[in-house]
Amino acid sequence: MSRQNSLNEPPLPLFATGGATPVKAAKAPSYIADHRARLRDRFLTGGAEAMPDYELLEMVLFRANARRDMKPVGRALMERFGSFNGVITAPEAELRKVTGVGPSLVAELKLIEAAAQRMLRDRVIGRTVLSSWQALLDYCRTAMAHRETEQFRILFLDRKNALVADEAQAKGTVDHVPVYPREVVKRTLELNASALILVHNHPSGDPTPSQADVEMTRQIVEAAGVMGVTVHDHLVVGKGCEFSFRAEGYL
């Protein structure tokens, strides 16, 4: 009886017809390889500033498919989502609607998005918020501006107003997110935080707060105040702009 399929033996190698030569993965055509080499050289020489969005995106797509010309896919993504940032932050379901976009390509795009968010977050964690306010806004925009549903986040600060934690507390629909002041205060005490910055997004793109936003903020401020915790601001993130409760006199 043959032992070829025994679990204790490695599988036989796959050979081409005739059994003489192992099957090799096809290489990218030379014109694709040359084009990619030119883009890499330009990137290494001039940096990202030397490249338009569509070329930078094409370089990201190289990693998802080593043999295929990714320029048509990159152009289709740019036409649908408008910019490099728009492509990277687009929801997975929307990305998959573009011809040529599969799981590996989505994974590459979402990896870039996650890396960008992690880098921006590291610029503000542990630092005094007042001295890194712009970095904080950049992080909030990157993490929330392009979401298709509302998300409520809390930035927890210590006695020196340094960011000690950033947590998503709730996710909602396209125009509502449930927030419970008691849970906010409970988590604040668990982290031994002394102050808060509230942040949520408006998928519509308009950061103007609703009456429900105003009332929810008032309830959290009152509940936190009882415990000696300060709410420094509530930021509503839209597409390309934010609304600050503090700056607009709501706090």
State residue 5's pLDDT score: 44
**Model confidence pLDDT, tens digit, residues 72-92:** 888 999 999 888 888 888 888
Q: Which residue in this structure is represented by tokens 């392009």? A: 146
For the stretch 117-148, pLDDT in tens is 888 777 777 677 767 788 888 888 888 887 88
Say if CB 204 and CB 169 are below 8 A apart: no
Q: Record the tokens describing residue 130, joined without a space.
A: 């007042």
Q: Are 137 and 241 in contact (CB under 8 A)?
A: no
- Domains of the chain, earliest start first: 30-119 (1.10.150), 128-244 (3.40.140.10)
Question: d(Cα 135, Cα 26) in Å, to the nearest integer?
Answer: 45
Q: In whole angstroms, what separates CA 43 from the centre of its chain?
A: 23
Helix (H/G/I), strand (E/B), else coil: 236: strand
pTM over cut 0.75:
no
Phi/psi of residue 54, nearest 5 degrees: -70, -30
